[in-house]
Amino acid sequence: MRKCAIFDLDGTLTQSEEGIWNGVRYAAEKLGFPEPDAATLRKFIGPPLGFSFREYMGMDEAMAETATMTYREYYNVHGLFENRVYPGIRRLLRTLKQEGWYIGIATGKPQKTSERVVAHFGLDKFVEKLCGPVGDHRPGKIELICDALPEGWDASIDDIWMIGDRKFDIEGAIGAGVKSIGVGYGYGSEEELRQAGCTQYCATVQDVIDFLCPGAAAPKGAFLSIEGLDGSGKGTQIRLLTDVIERFGFELQLTREPGGCPISEKLRDIILDKNHEEMDDVTEALLYAASRAQHVRQVIRPAVEAGKVLLCDRFVDSSVAYQGGGRQLGVQRVLDINAPAVDGTMPMATVYLDVDHETSMARRAAATELDRMELAGDSFHARTEAGYRELIARDPERFIVVDATRTPEEIGREVAQRVLARLMEAE
């Protein structure tokens, strides 16, 4: 018996309103219509475009036709990608795959467009067959579902589920003779899905996982870190990267070092306190390692075990660079101090925002309040930079080194592209 899951795309795997709304706004502006308000835009999701332009924006037949073409001008280039994979969907698809399920997609969105969306988000590797309308042929949901199933399927023998967010998906499943799950996080209501006769209703992606794969182990998540000298623009890049990672449907958890959990945050306050001038370099290194030991066990490992992408603002590399290089304790000594803290838990990729220490100093000079580390002298930061360079030379595979002297947007694009490639490779 084969287990098959056929998914709808918009509203089930991806949340697509942003691109659709921007397309409608674009068409309205270009054709001299007033910008539609939020309530009007919401109505555009679901029905055919021509119908919506006529019904909700008062266009005549010919104008609605022009508006649809104008919309496509925007949508096929930009709107397509102004889309988000629902949080947890990657984990659901990975779990199904891991459990040996066949995965297909049956969508009302043109097949070519859908293939581009699915490939853009790196979901194509999970999907064995994607079926949508091709050319002028506009098949109904029943036909699409049957086409998306594997050769020779038999609903009386196989365990087949259609998963969708609207009544059309459920009606299609009934027509095709297969079972259905109505999902409540998309564009349809629970009432709509139950009335249509779904076999099972799931309010969240987690509910779908629990229902289809009860007791299955969560696929492993990923541990990422980001490093750089003070003033390298880490804060901005973390914000940009967070947005992209989440948009791709990875479940992100952000954390930082020193800190990240109550005990480690207390240690952070002690370490960075400007009044602790007398702190010995060895004390400092041990405190960083102590805060890390707690953080690894309480935060990092559990998150990765639960399938999350854990992004840590600084990790052991900071100790090697700052305490080993900056404070001149030596690379090996700092690695030794940290061995029991890290205990084999290392990031699968580390973004290094590459700015030289002079640039970083100049940027920091503009900041208002400096902590104890930032108050250390110029040569300290030169040695820290050298520490990072040594680490990168030792472990070039792990580091993603990016020139961080460019604009935040340029840096962000490169960071996003390279980090996503690593994450998808590891899935």
Shortest CB 416 distance to ligand TMP, Å: 20
Residue type, 57: M
Query: Closest CB to ligand TMP belongs to which residue?
Result: 322
What are 336's two structure tokens?
């030794």
Smallest distance, ligand TMP to C-beta of residue 321, A: 8
- At residue 128, what are phi and psi to the nearest 5 degrees? -85, -30
When the beta carbons of 156 and 368 are compared against ligand TMP, the nearer one is 368
345: tokens are 């838990």
**Least distance to ligand TMP from the beta carbon of 345, Å?**
15
Nearest CA to 398 out of 337, 329, 352 is that of 352
To ligand TMP, the closest distance from the beta carbon of 316 in angstroms equals 7
C-beta of 166: minimal distance to ligand TMP in Å?
A: 46
- Nearer of residues 120 and 364 to ligand TMP, judged by Cβ: 364
Q: Which is nearer to ligand TMP, 246 or 265 (CB)?
A: 265
- Angle at Cα 311 formed by Cα 308 and Cα 316, nearest 5°? 125
Tell me the closest approach of the beta carbon of residue 291 to ligand TMP, in angstroms: 8
C-alpha separations of 277 from 67, 213, 373 in Å: 68, 56, 10
CA 327/CA 324 separation, integer angstroms = 6
Closest CB 359 distance from ligand TMP, rounded Å: 16
Shortest gap between Cβ of 163 and ligand TMP (angstroms)? 42
Residue 146 has a CB neighbour count (10 Å cut-off) of 19
* Distance of alpha carbon 106 from alpha carbon 88, whole angstroms: 20
- Applying CB under 6 A, which residues contact ligand TMP? 230, 256-258, 288, 314, 318-319, 322-323, 373-374
3-state secondary structure the chain: CCEEEEECCECCCEECHHHHHHHHHHHHHHCCCCCCCHHHHHHCCCCCHHHHHHHHHCCCHHHHHHHHHHHHHHHCCCHHHCCEECCCHHHHHHHHHHCCCEEEEECCCCHHHHHHHHHHCCCHHHCCEEECCECCECCCHHHHHHHHCCCCCCCCCCEEEEEECCHHHHHHHHHHCCEEEEECCCCCCHHHHHHHCCCEEECCHHHHHHHHCCCCCCCCCEEEEEEECCCCCHHHHHHHHHHHHHHCCCCEEEEECCCCCHHHHHHHHHHHCCCCCCCCHHHHHHHHHHHHHHHHHHHHHHHHHCCCEEEEECCHHHHHHHHHHHCCCCHHHHHHHHHHHHCCCCCCEEEEEECCHHHHHHHHHCCCCCCCCCCCCHHHHHHHHHHHHHHHHHCCCCEEEEECCCCHHHHHHHHHHHHHHHHHHHC
CB of 298: closest distance to ligand TMP in angstroms? Answer: 16
Query: CB of 421: closest distance to ligand TMP in angstroms?
Result: 25
Report in angstroms how near the CB of residue 284 gets to ligand TMP at its nearest.
7
Is the CB of 27 or the CB of 373 nearer to ligand TMP?
373
Nearer to ligand TMP, 20 or 391 (CB): 391
123 vs 320 by CB, closer to ligand TMP: 320
